[in-house]
Amino acid sequence: MDLTGRVAVVTGSGRGLGLAYAKALAAAGASVVVNDVDQAAVDAAVAEIPGAVGVAAAVGDTESAERLVAAAVEAFGRLDVLITNAGILRDRVLWKMTDDDFDAVVRVHLRGTFTCARAAAIRMRAQGTGGRLILIASPAGQRGNFGQTNYAAAKAGIAAMARTWALELARSEITVNAVVPIAATEMTKTIPAFAPVIEEAERTGQPYPAWLRRDEGLGTVDDVTGLITFLASDASKGITGQAIGIGGDKLALWSHPAEKQVAFRDGGWSASDIAASWDFPAETYGIPAPRVPS
């Protein structure tokens, strides 16, 4: 897929998934702005990616977002694609989570996505030639996850912003989609069920086992890049407002929240009316525990 002439900003692209996205977009011909909070990671990525420019900045505030868009325009004359990927974890159960844990995660993921997307949308609307906002969400935001109050809330908010901005930017032909990736990175190595398998594969150079790639949808960072390149390209024209999962051997379209079962009662519902007629089946929630073969 040819992205020649396209200009992309990838936040948090000093390592992990973001670095893989930046490399894949550059390999498809795009000009790339690399960003990370870590200057050394930015320098290393720029050295690795032909033609890339780097901006070391902490995503979250408006100034960083505007610097990223300005860097794309200064270096390459325009901006066509934004990937909001920068992220951190501060996992704790609700009753141990501090204000700082909550604010730090919401700042990078939710506020960082908002400020970067706003700056990019202003530029793309002014250019008048459409664009692509690719927002990185997470299974935790889709389902909820133990120990991830801050992260699940931020990622659910990101999926909601994708739906909202898809509506707002449709006339400008700027598509907005949420990607729900799963891949072996420093982040997933913190999940106890996956850590030994990932470390074993890294040590031996063997591919990840089929159960991990297919049943858990977890593979390498490079397994995620095909979707990113597709969404950045003309081939994804008209695809907007969606949450799309990718990882290992699996590609998935997530449903949008919808009323699943409804009931009506003339005059409305008192508490005892609800108690008397409640027959709604409970839905499952939370990320299912990994099924590690014994």
- Cross-strand pairs, 179: 136, 244
Residue 106 sits in the site that holds ligand NAD (CB under 6 A): no
DSSP state of 44: H
Residue 143 sits in the site that holds ligand NAD (CB under 6 A): no
Among 31, 145, 149, 185, binds ligand NAD (CB under 6 A): 185
Q: Which is nearer to ligand NAD, 84 or 233 (CB)?
A: 84
The token pair that represents 285 in the structure block = 């929630």
Among 157, 181, 217, 248, binds ligand NAD (CB under 6 A): 181
Residue 44 sits in the site that holds ligand NAD (CB under 6 A): no
Among 11, 115, 149, 225, binds ligand NAD (CB under 6 A): 11
Min dist. Cβ of residue 4 to ligand NAD (A) = 26
The candidate with the shortest Cα–Cα distance to 11, out of 60, 76, 63, is 60
Place of tokens 């720029």: 46
Looking at 12-20, 74-82, 196-204, 269-277, which segment touches ligand NAD (CB under 6 A)?
Answer: 12-20
Residue 242 sits in the site that holds ligand NAD (CB under 6 A): no
Among 117, 183, 198, 212, binds ligand NAD (CB under 6 A): 183
Question: Rounded to an integer, what distance in angstroms lies between the CA atom of residue 150 and that of residue 131?
Answer: 30
φ and ψ at residue 10, rounded to 5 degrees: -125, 115
Q: Is 285 known to be catalytic?
A: no
Min dist. Cβ of residue 210 to ligand NAD (A) = 18
The token pair that represents 70 in the structure block = 């300005």
Residue 245 sits in the site that holds ligand NAD (CB under 6 A): no
Of residues 59-98, which lie at the interface with ligand NAD (CB under 6 A)?
Answer: 59-60, 85-88
Angle at alpha carbon of residue 68, lines to 7 and 21, rounded to 5° = 50
**Is the Cα dihedral 180, 56, 63, 4 positive or negative?**
negative
The count of other CB atoms within 10 Å of the CB of residue 145 is: 19
Residue 136 sits in the site that holds ligand NAD (CB under 6 A): yes
CB 3 within 8 A of CB 12: no
Among 3, 6, 10, 18, binds ligand NAD (CB under 6 A): 18
Question: Rounded to an integer, what distance in angstroms lies between the CA atom of residue 223 and that of residue 213?
Answer: 10
Looking at 55-63, 127-135, 168-176, 268-276, which segment touches ligand NAD (CB under 6 A)?
Answer: 55-63
**Is the Cα dihedral 90, 93, 96, 98 positive or negative?**
positive
Q: Which is nearer to ligand NAD, 7 or 184 (CB)?
A: 184
Cα 171 from chain centroid (whole Å): 24
Min dist. Cβ of residue 24 to ligand NAD (A) = 13
Among 31, 35, 142, 148, binds ligand NAD (CB under 6 A): 35
Among 8, 36, 90, 217, binds ligand NAD (CB under 6 A): 36
Residue 142 sits in the site that holds ligand NAD (CB under 6 A): no
CB 136 within 8 A of CB 158: yes
Of residues 187-216, which lie at the interface with ligand NAD (CB under 6 A)?
Answer: 187-188
φ and ψ at residue 91, rounded to 5 degrees: -75, 130
- The residues annotated as belonging to the active site are 151
